Amino acid sequence: MKYQVDEKGFFGRFGGAYVPEILYKCVHDLQDAYRPIIESDDFKQSFHQLLRDYVGRPSPLYYARRMSERYGCRLYLKREDLNHTGAHKINNTIGQILMAKKMGKTRIIAETGAGQHGVATATVCALMDMQCEVFMGKTDVERQHTNVERMRMLGATVHPVTTGNMTLSDACSEAIRDWCCHPRDTYYLVGSTMGPHPYPDIVAKMQSVISEEIKWQLQEKVGRDYPDCLIACVGGGSNAAGTIYHYIDDERVRIVLAEAGGHGVDTDHTAATIHCGTEGIIHGARSLVMQTGDGQIQEAFTISAGLDYPGIGPMHADLAEHGREEVIAINDDEAIYAGYELTRMEGIIPAIESAHALAALRKLTFAPDDVVVLTVSGRGDKDVQTYLSHKDMAKEYGNF
């Protein structure tokens, strides 16, 4: 593959590793260790065995007949919602816990927003018998209580974070602070394609199993191994990175990403970082950031807790800037509508994050033969209350 992170961890202008001095050594150790580990036969064998027998991979590539008719294309859904723990996040946590073990670490820390990454991390820590500490904004602890209970049942300690807005961004800062205090025994298990180099590259490589499978599944189903268009939602960017990974250099494939517009990109209530962000440094990487004129991070706003991040993975900042990715902002009401639409037309309740990707279908035009692959990043069980209480929002698009 031609498109790669450079030696210093940059994707064009974006990326790098901007960390406090005390973390230099552990970040460098990880930079040196990750490729040899990922490329070793031992790792590959354990990773793929767990993906198959524990996560339930390959995830199906499902031909959505009714939705295809409605949108005038051949629409295939990549069903990450069917994975163990209900989303794509588990692919990454399985890979990184194996890496932490190889590096001799005994204590795992993680940040979480909606709690999906926290649950996926607590799950693999139980599996591998590792100590697990999860940092989560106090606001999110209250909003996402079931996931907090799941983490506790799995044996993790959940630390409510009371600094800043008490959401994901503050949880990341607190995890980095903890890492500074325990650099030797602790592995920071980052949940998306963000953070200092090498994390964006590690997480993209762990999630690349998604496009690896899409290739052979398309070959079987449509007789060629590439689609005309790929669609995914983007928060930090991990399910999107996995979906596009093996197609980035393939110009035949159009790439469309959906970010969370919240109330709209022209309001103060948005999480559309690629549309509204400016260049800055966030959680150890140079990227696009929602920030005030004097560089204070601005709170992100969206109905979707999993897309609620004021930054974006550096790889996507670069690919979007060069026009390789088309990025569409999807507002809350459009996502709610799209969530109901998939539920009623195909019997699949998608995560509200994934509903942002589905809402992009209405904004695109296709030729009838076009093969479109859309990643359903997670299942919507956690969002049923949100869908029900915001049903009226979707009225102007149609009735359910």
* Non-local CB neighbours of 269 within 8 Å, separated by 6+ positions: 262, 263, 301
Among this protein's residues, is 89 annotated catalytic? Answer: yes
Nearest to 135 by CA among 102, 110, 162: 110
Question: How far is Cα 27 from Cα 398, in angstroms, rounded to an integer?
Answer: 50
Work out the angle at residue 356's Cα, subtended by the Cα atoms of residues 352 and 357, and round it to the nearest 5 degrees: 120
* Binding residue (CB under 6 A) for ligand PLP from 136, 285, 349, 351: 351
Q: Examine residue 277 and tell whether it contacts ligand PLP (CB under 6 A).
A: no
Q: Which of residues 211-230 bind ligand PLP (CB under 6 A)?
A: none
Q: Examine residue 306 and tell whether it contacts ligand PLP (CB under 6 A).
A: yes
Residue for token digits 């509508």? Answer: 337
Q: Examine residue 354 and tell whether it contacts ligand PLP (CB under 6 A).
A: yes
Cα 312 to chain centroid distance, Å, stands at 10
What mask of x and - would describe binding to ligand PLP in positions 164 to 203, judged by CB under 6 A?
----------------------------x-----------
Which residue's beta carbon is nearest to the bound ligand PLP? 378
* Non-local CB neighbours of 10 within 8 Å, separated by 6+ positions: 16, 197, 286, 314
DSSP state of 13: T
Question: How far is Cα 301 from Cα 308, in angstroms, rounded to an integer?
Answer: 6
- Of the listed pieces 16-24, 48-56, 278-286, 351-359, which binds ligand PLP according to CB under 6 A? 351-359
Candidates 111, 213, 341, 353; catalytic one: 111
Question: How far is Cα 245 from Cα 238, in angstroms, rounded to an integer?
Answer: 10
Q: Examine residue 260 and tell whether it contacts ligand PLP (CB under 6 A).
A: no
* Binding residue (CB under 6 A) for ligand PLP from 51, 233, 271, 360: 233
Beta bridge partners of 329: 259
* Binding residue (CB under 6 A) for ligand PLP from 237, 261, 262, 314: 237
For ligand PLP, give the closer residue by CB, 170 or 353: 353
- Tell me, by CB under 6 A, how many residues bind ligand PLP: 19
Give the footprint of ligand PLP on this chain (CB under 6 A): 87, 89, 116, 192, 233-240, 306-307, 351, 353-354, 377-378
Active-site residue list: 89, 111, 377
